Amino acid sequence: MTNDLLFVYGTLLVADNEFASYLTRNSTFCCRGKIKGKLYDAGHYPALVIDSKDNYDVWGTVYRLKNPQEVLRQLDFYEGYGEGEERPYLYIREALAVKTDKGTLICWGYLYNRSIAGFREITAGNYMEYLQQKI
């Protein structure tokens, strides 16, 4: 699938993150968005899973990638996904239907791919707000 949209909801929104800076330099802001899922605190990063029940809005940002193939290659490395990465992958990249004020957009997004046992759930669905409260 060729797509230049990416939905991010976690550490790629943190200003002092090296890969967030990379993303900012190699994309443009499109809009805010949300997806139905569940969000967890996995320690130093969030874990988004899409469950068939009890999902809630998970908020994030949609970016338009300037060079999708190269940017996704770099972000796959950051997210522990793809060739050469430990299996099962930490995250998997999937095409997600993201609701925005521009309608529903199909965006790449990273879903957590390991056990969430013992993780604290972030029921408000907003990782950035959660980080502010955690400080």
Q: Which domains does the chain have, with CATH numbers?
A: 5-134 (3.10.490.10)
Answer yes or no: pTM beyond 0.75: yes
CB 28 within 8 A of CB 63: yes
Output the six-digit token pair for 28: 């443009």
pLDDT by position in tens, the chain (length 135): 569 999 999 999 998 999 999 999 999 999 999 999 999 999 999 999 998 788 999 999 999 999 999 999 999 999 999 999 999 999 999 999 999 999 999 999 999 999 999 999 999 999 999 999 986
Q: What is the distance between the alpha carbons of residues 113 and 53, in angstroms, rounded to a whole number?
A: 18
* Burial zone of 122 (CB within 10 Å; 0-12 exposed, 13-18 middle, 19+ buried): buried
